[in-house]
């Protein structure tokens, strides 16, 4: 799990597939299985009254939001 207050726009993050809930389509889960990384666009999406999602751009240009618990920092 990451802490969004320490992120920088353009930072590459890993999507933790084992943390994903059933909210994603099967097609997207398969795509993420092949390439579980995205670049943080610097944006947030309010997803309910208590939490927000971080907007990532995937390798194919798709944008998608993820909860903090579904992401980890990429150590290079």
Q: Is 10 left (phi over 0), alpha (psi -120 to 50) or beta?
A: left
Answer positive or negative: Cα dihedral of 16, 17, 18, 19.
positive
Considering the chain, what is the average pLDDT of its residues?
A: 87
72 and 4 Cβ atoms separated by less than 8 Å? no
- What is the predicted pLDDT for the residue at 12? 94
pLDDT digits (tens, 9 = 90+) for 5-30: 788 999 999 999 999 878 788 888 89
Global confidence as pTM: 0.84
- What is the predicted pLDDT for the residue at 75? 62
3-state SS, residue 3:
coil
CA of residue 55 relative to chain centroid, distance: 6
Where along the chain do its domains lie?
A: 4-73
């Amino acid at each position: 799990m990451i802490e969004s207050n320490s992120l920088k726009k353009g930072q590459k993050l890993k999507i933790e597939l084992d943390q994903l809930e059933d909210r994603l389509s099967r097609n997207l889960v398969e795509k993420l299985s092949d390439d579980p990384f995205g670049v943080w666009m610097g944006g947030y999406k309010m997803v309910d009254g208590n939490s927000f999602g971080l907007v990532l751009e995937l390798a194919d240009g798709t944008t998608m939001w993820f909860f903090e618990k579904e992401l980890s920092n990429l150590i290079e």
